[in-house]
Every structure is written in C-alpha cells, then in structure tokens.
Amino acid sequence: MQAILLAGGLGTRLRSVVSDRPKPMALIEGRPFMEYVTRELVRHGITDIIFAVGYKGSMVEEHFGDGSAYGFKAAYAYEETLLGTAGAIKNAGRLITEDRFFVLNADTFYQIDYTRLIRLQDEMNLDMALVLREVPDVSRYGQAVLDGAGRLTGFNEKTTEARPGTINGGIYLMKRELLEDIPEGKVSLENEMIPRWLETGRPLGGFVNDGYFIDIGIPEAYYQFQEDVIRGTVR
C-alpha cells in the first residue's frame, strides 16, 4: 500500500532546539524522527511512501534516497509554496497509483493497527477512515465525534468546556477519488475539506485508538520522545 507523509511544515515552534533541518528530520539517538515513523509503516505492510516536502526537503531525499535501504519505495513531491495539509495531499496525489492510500503527519508518532483502518473502511464503505484519540481536555483542541456505529458526525468542533473527549489523531485512509474534490492551491484538510465532506454527506468514519502518541512540535515533546526511545518505550 501507499502512504503520503506530510513533511512540508516550517516547524517554527521547534526551531529553538532544531534549527538546521526540517522538524521531521530532528535527530533522535542519531536517527531522524521520520525514520521511526517510516519503520512503523513498513512494519504494517506499507511499502510505497511519498514524502510531501517543502522547507529543506532535499535533506529528506538525501537521507532516504529511493527508500530501498529502509524497506520501502520512496518518492518525493516538492511544494514551491506552502500548500496546507490538503494542498500537500493534492500535490503528492499525482504519484498515487492505488485506489486508496494512507496520509499521516511526519512529525507525529502514533502506534496503531493500520489493518484495522482498512477493515473499517471496507465494512462501512467509507470514503475516508481516520483515527481518533482520547484526551483529558478537548477545549485545547477541536473535538472529533463518532456515533455508535463509528460514523464521523463532528470534526474540529470548538468548546470552552474543559472535559475529556476525542480529537483527531492525524492518520487517514483516503479513497483516491477524494483528490478530485481538493482545489488547487493552499487548502487545509482539517479546517476546510473534512468539514466540507461531512456537510455534503460523504461517508467518513473511524475508531478511537489508545496506542502511544507524540507530536514533536514543541521542545518538551521532542525531549520526551528521546527519553521514550532510550527507555525502550518506542523501539
């Protein structure tokens, strides 16, 4: 299967500790963070990875090359200007050759069962299947809501009430036909396309996963991941 890794962001919040490279290439015990992400993908049978790159993207290509040393086939989709998450998917989509593909953020590490997303999409005939995660306070994020059958009924819903709930986990299994809906230019998947697909009745669904999750977008999380690798929490 194919996957698009979104690695085109500027990583400004991490710039104070990682200034010489793209955020997903931040070194963890001598290896770029994104190497941990790609190894997890390969472990789940994903053999074709498209890197959607922008800022210092050539550093990603120099490291991974054709991907053969890491067990997958690599391709690269460069952004000349910032395209947003959906715009980056649209740009990388020209390299998609299969009927469906995974999308994930290259600066997050989330341990999930990828085959479960495939089964869910097949069973519910979903255009997109996505992973949610539970947090103690949804007011810090946009809430994502599933009904009892696993259909997505709300996304990026803002609330000021500090309470536990579910939010977007940032891993998607998309049907290729969705690429046609994304306009050219800078477009957000989370703020524009998913809400629009919900409004127009496209079948979207998912499940809540409790596996290890971290986003290295801030220095504290970057150092936390280093500690977790050293302790063996992440292999």
pLDDT > 90 fraction of the chain, expressed in percent and rounded: 77
Any idea where the domains of the chain sit in the sequence? Answer: 2-231
Mean pLDDT, the chain, rounded, equals 92
DSSP 44-112: TT--EEEEEE-TTHHHHHHHHTTSGGGTSEEEEEE-SS--HHHHHHHHHGGG--SSEEEEEETTEEE--
Reference 130, options 99, 182, 166, 171; nearest CA is: 171
**What pairs with residue 5 in β-bridges?**
51, 104
Helix axes 57-64, 33-43, angle to 10 degrees: 50
Task: Please give the pLDDT value at position 12.
Answer: 62
Return the CATH class of domain 2-231: alpha beta
Give per-residue pLDDT as tens, 64-122: 999 999 999 999 999 988 899 999 999 999 999 999 999 999 999 999 999 999 999 99
Give per-residue pLDDT as tens, 171-205: 999 999 999 999 999 999 999 999 999 999 999 99
End-to-end CA distance of the chain: 23
